Each structure stands twice: as C-alpha cells, then as structure tokens.
Chains A and B, each alone.
Chain A
Amino acid sequence: MSVPFSGALRRSGGIVSAIGKQLKSVNLKGVKRITVQFDPFAENVKSTREFLFLLSTPKVALTNPKCVVKSEIVCNRQPANIKFALIDSAQEKAKVKEIRFNSDNINTLELLQLCNRHVSSLAPPEEITNKVLTKAEKQKLGGGAGGGKKTYKKK
C-alpha cells in the first residue's frame, strides 16, 4: 500500500527565477506611456525602483519600442505609484484609460505578476505581415491554377 505521489518533481529556483519567469511574459504592446512616481527617501520604495529597472531592460523595451517609460521623483513622502496609459484598442478592451498600481506595499514579484495579469493581457494580437512562402507552399497555391507543369526536358 503506497501513498500516491504528491508534490513537485523539480525544486523551485527561488524568487529570482520566479521574477525571471514573470519578466519573460511581460508584454507592453498595449501601453503607450508608463509613469513611475516615487519619493526616494520614503520607505518601501525598493520594489518600485526594481520594477523601474526591470522595465528598462532591452528585452522588455523591445516588446514595444514606442512605449515611453518616465520616472518622476517627488519629495512629499507620498506613496509610490506606477501608471500605465493604454493605447486605444486596449482602452476599449479594458474600458479604462489608464491603470494605476499603488506599489507601496507590494513586492517586486507581486508587482510583475499584477502587471502580467492586467497589462500584458491587453496587448493586441500580432498581425502576420510579409509572410515568406516556401517553394512547396508556392507550388500548392500555383499548382492548381497552373495545371502541373512537371515535365521538363533532360539535356
């Protein structure tokens, strides 16, 4: 009588790999402007600053080159927040003009998870343009119309 297996086969890599995994699925196509506002002398700004750093990495920036990341430094001890201004199609989808995260008491990992849940899902699907046809596909398309010119002279 053996107990059926329960648990994970692989050990988790820790918080760093969790952050890396979330970062890979960040998609900023639905955002036109990100404003990160924080007071550097306040407490609990670490996660906001780390999030700002992660957004500025080339891989994330490449998902939408038109998206601008702006940082505002304030000195009035107000809690840190991050605003995502959405593009028109995303605004229709989400029925809001911009999304705001109050990141004072959120961890970096949680911030990324929230971002993926609310922002990356609003990215418009990619349109396929300039698809390069392979020879076989070209033959399939043209073979029906052409009538099959298979015979060729051997010299």
Chain B
Amino acid sequence: MSLIQKILPLTRGSTPALQFVRFRGKINIQRPKEPHYERARVVAVTQPKYPEPPKARSCFKSRAERTQQQIENPYNEIIAREVRNWLDHSRLVAIFHLNSITADEIFRVRVQLHKQNLHLKSYGRKIIGQAVEGTRYEAILPLFHSNHCIVFSPDHQRIGSLLRITRKVPQMVLLGGIVEETLLSRNELMAYAQMPGLQAVQAQLVQTINQAAGQLVQQLQAHQNSFVQILDVHAKSKGEAKETTPEEKSK
C-alpha cells in the first residue's frame, strides 16, 4: 500500500475479486507442517479402514496363484471377432512359420504382398484359439505354437504370386493353408499353385468327354482316310515324274 493510500483511506480500492496466493514459488508437499492437535484428531478418526481378506482363503494357494488374478480383457474378444471375419471372408489363407527377421525386411515383404492384394497379419495363439475353438477352422490351431504369421487374400488365384514373393524370404517357412474352405498342407498348396486355371481345367474335361465320340468317328473313317492319303502320295509322285520328264525333253 502506498503512502497516500495509508493516509487517505478513501483512496483505497475495494479488495479485488481475485487474490493471488502463490507467485512462481514451488509449493511444498514433501515436508508438510505438523497438523494442529484438533485437526490431527479429526484426520485420525476419518482414516478409511478396509476389511482384510480372510487368511484362510489364500492360505494354501501358491504364490503364483495368489498374484495371478488376471481378468479376461474384453479387447481380446474384439480381436478374436476380427480374426473370424478375416477367416470367413478370405478365400486364400496361408500360414507361415516366422524365423528371426528384422522389422525392415518384414515391412518390405508386407508391402510387396499388399500390392498383390495379399494381407500379412499375425495374432497371438490365445486370441486365435478363442476365435477358432469350436468352429470348422479348429484344425489350424497346432500351427500356431511358435512364431508365425498369416496371409489372407480374398481371391484364391494369388497363390502363385504369394509363393513367388515368399520364396525370396528365407525366414518365412510355409506350413499350410486354407483354400476355398479346404485345409491344404504345404505340398498340396504348391501343387495347387502349379495347376492351370479353372477354365483350362474345364476345357480339359470337355476334351476328355468328347474324346470317346471322337475316337469312334476316327475309327469309322480310318480306312477312307488312309486310302485318300495313299492316293495323295501317288498323285504327287506322278506329278513330280511328269515335271522331270518335260525338263529332260527341253534339255
């Protein structure tokens, strides 16, 4: 307060609405002041008292059992549902064993696969177990005991490009897969990749069916065809003989 405000009290303004208590200094919480006796009494009375769990319940449990009270995380359920979704909607699923690989390399593989509409994913065994237990995909569970990764694709003709890309990656070892709801082992998957497309196979089938009728027609016409061929050869040889003799005559 200035000198004028002390002498002439009317010049004092009213107390401001905001009175600043602290200015820049750090507050003290580490060495609190000892409370007054009355305050200390109130604090002591109002301390919360928690009921102790009866020792008999946990007496015979081992230390591991006592400390491992994990509640099932509901997020696992959501991820399991995502896995089921991927399994249901992709016509090609390939499962790989993953050896030790750097994040850089696996990223490069993931990008190459993504360009071919192949999606590289990996989930924990517990979640896959939760997603797959009791469904028709249960047979793939033993593949996930160790480090793994899964490749999903909505079209099943990409198996060729998948094998081509993963052949360059020695750390990814193909274990098996699901194609069109059929579980295939590694050798079967490679054979499937070698097979020609559906149209070519259909054409082969049509050819095989027509072969019976075609054979019959061929056998009926066999004698006539051979006769015609012999006549052709005879006519050609005669024609050549006629050409050579006029040449000799002209000479």
Measured CB to CB, the residues of A under 8 A from B are 40-43, 45-46, 49-50, 52-53, 56-58, 71, 73, 75
**In the complex, chain A residues whose CB is within 8 Å of the CB of B201:** none
B100 lies within 8 A of A58 (CB): yes
- How distant is the Cα of A43 from the Cα of B142 in the complex, in angstroms? 7
A residues near B174, Cβ cutoff 8 Å: 73
B143 in the interface, Cβ–Cβ < 8 Å?
A: yes
Main SS of chain B's interface residues?
mixed
Rounded to whole angstroms, the CA-CA distance of A77 and B185 in the bound complex is 12
Interface contact B176-A40, CB-CB below 8 Å: yes
Q: Residue B208 at the A interface, CB < 8 A?
A: no
Given A40-B175, A56-B171, A73-B175: A49 in contact with B145 (beta carbons within 8 A): yes
Contact among B147, B175, B176, B188 for A53, CB-based, below 8 A: B147
Contact partner of B145 among A46, A57, A58, CB < 8 A?
A46
Most chain A CB neighbours (cut-off 10 Å) among B139, B145, B174: B145
Whether the Cβ atoms of A73 and B173 lie closer than 8 Å is: yes
Task: Give 11 CB contacts A-B under 8 Å.
Answer: A40-B97, A41-B142, A52-B99, A52-B173, A53-B98, A53-B99, A53-B147, A56-B100, A56-B171, A73-B186, A75-B185
A71–B186 touching, CB < 8 Å: no
Measured between alpha carbons, how far is A50 from B187 in the docked complex, in Å? 22
- The answer on a CB contact under 8 Å between A49 and B97 is yes
How many A-B Cβ pairs are below 8 Å?
47
B146 close to chain A: CB less than 8 A:
yes
Q: Report B-chain residues with C-beta under 8 Å of the C-beta of A43.
A: 142
Given contacts A52-B146, A57-B100, A71-B97, 9 further A-B contacts (CB under 8 A): A40-B97, A40-B143, A41-B143, A43-B142, A46-B146, A52-B97, A52-B99, A53-B100, A56-B171
Chain B, 70-88, contact with A by CB distance < 8 Å: what is the 0/1 string?
0000000000000000000
Q: Which residue of A lies closest to B173 (CB)?
A: A71
- B171 to A, closest residue via Cβ: A56
How many Å lie between the Cα of A56 and that of B188 in the bound state? Answer: 26
With a cutoff of 8 Å between Cβ atoms, the chain B residues found around residue A50 in the complex are 146
Contacts of B173 in A (CB 8 A): 52, 71, 73
Q: Across the interface, which residues of A come within 8 angstroms of B188, CB to CB?
A: 75
Q: How far apart are A116's CB and chain B's nearest CB, in angstroms?
A: 19
Determine the chain B residues whose CB is within 8 A of the CB of A52 once the complex forms: 97, 99, 146, 173
Query: Can you list the 7 inter-chain pairs with the closest CB atoms, starting with the nearest?
Result: A49-B146, A56-B99, A75-B185, A40-B175, A46-B145, A56-B100, A57-B100
